Amino acid sequence: MTDKEKGLVLAESPSRRSFLGMSSVALATAAFAGLTANAQEKASTQKAEHDHSSSDPGPENKTLLGENPDANTPPPTDHGDIVPIWYSFDLVKKRVEEGGWTHEVTQRVLPSSKEIAGVQMRLTAGSYRELHWHTADEWAYVLTGNARVTVMNPDGTMFIGDVSEGDLWLFPAGYPHSIQGLGPDGTEFLLVFNQGMFSEDGTMLLSETVAHIPPEVLAKNTGLDKSVFAQTPGAPLYIFPGNLPNSLEQDKTEIGGEQVASKYQYTFRMRSMQPTTASQAGEVRVVDSHNFPVSKKVAAALLIIKPGHMREIHWHPNASEWQYYVAGKGRMTVFYPVDNARTMDFSANDVGYVPSNAPHYVENIGDTDLVVLELFAAEEFMDVSLNQWLRRVPSEMLKAHLNIGKEMATRIPAEKLELV
């Protein structure tokens, strides 16, 4: 090709820079058109949701709608779809035994919760949750009453302790343990396991283990005559009535006292600990491996939010959040990409779920304290505050993104408040 021909080709062809420039304009135009269409769609949806279009002259379950109005007719800021973030223990059947009952909310009914499952259990005074162990760590919070718990370490040392309302315990996976209701009226507690598909019906029971080992093997193993094992239950005990135990000190002495005592503490006084943070908005108590060393796979926070106040907008970078609502009335909005937000209302005995890294808040919309447990399948409680982030970026950067000037930005709280 001659120099003249090369010049003609170059003259007739757009330059790389001009081509890229045209592409940028086209892309920007397309992006703007997409944003405009999305905004129009949201505006249309929001208008329809809040005029006569949303009326429902047909049959309605008004009791259910009254409990969760935001689920059926969400606020105009909700958009798109999001994973399930609500369920209730009051919707699952109870397994009732002589001496108490149990029921559970697992991934089977709350499919988004892949990391945590929850169980509620009731034991009357003297009744046992029989000696057993799990494939997952067991974290528990006492809702009412009193209980005695035991757990054995692999080295043979034993922990025995009593717990009351607001206390918690942690039993590591594979560690054999028991729970017994104390006077005057036993106990009820929440169990949390760091496996979404965990089922309380699938635990390793002492009674079942013994029932499925030949008597001659049991005799050889224990040194007892095999006729002794003809008297064992032969069927699962699970929950069963018993007599109230001796005093805690008597039980400790009977098993060997200090010589066999565990060097690890498996219970913790959560509700009575000094608040991690406190203000007129309420109190937050955080328990994780920093102040409860045996809890290496479950972290927790107990929130007491005063009426009209809220858990500040935040997210958790290290784990999804599983919530249990102990008391009061709350509302939560969860945002998740792309452009999805869902608001739900929560009452006592409800379960909430928030995917990791999803921004959310919890607001007290009742006239009494909102009490919420936040649970995480993690060693450490960790959250990121939106307020703190907005204050930490340079003011010009914030103005470019949200059109909030420097003077206005200084009004945003600079420190993490937890509750506002």
Ligand-binding annotation for 360, yes or no, is yes
List CB contacts of 407: < 8 A, sequence separation 6 or more. none
Radius of gyration for the chain, computed over Cα atoms and rounded to the nearest angstrom: 29
Q: What is the identity of the amino acid at 84?
A: P
Task: Answer yes or no: 374 catalytic.
Answer: yes
171 φ, ψ (degrees, to nearest 5): -115, 115
Question: Strand pairing partners for 363?
Answer: 310, 331
**Among 108, 119, 105, 113, CA closest to 84:** 113
**Active-site hit among 374, 379, 396, 407:** 374
Contact predicate 181/147, CB 8 Å: yes
Ligand-binding annotation for 401, yes or no, is no
Rounded CA separation 170/140 (Å)? 6
Ligand-binding annotation for 314, yes or no, is yes
Backbone dihedral region of 166: left (phi > 0), alpha (psi from -120 to 50 degrees) or beta?
A: left
124 vs 144, 214, 243, 260, CA distance in Å?
11, 33, 11, 29
Contact predicate 239/129, CB 8 Å: yes
Contact predicate 84/110, CB 8 Å: yes
Ligand-binding annotation for 132, yes or no, is yes
With the C-alpha atoms ordered 254, 257, 259, 260, is the resulting torsion angle positive or negative? positive
Rounded CA separation 216/229 (Å)? 9
DSSP 231: G
Ligand-binding annotation for 321, yes or no, is yes
Annotation: binding site: 132, 134, 138, 177, 314, 316, 321, 360
Residues known to be catalytic: 374
Residue positions forming the annotated binding site for Mn(2+):
132, 134, 138, 177, 314, 316, 321, 360
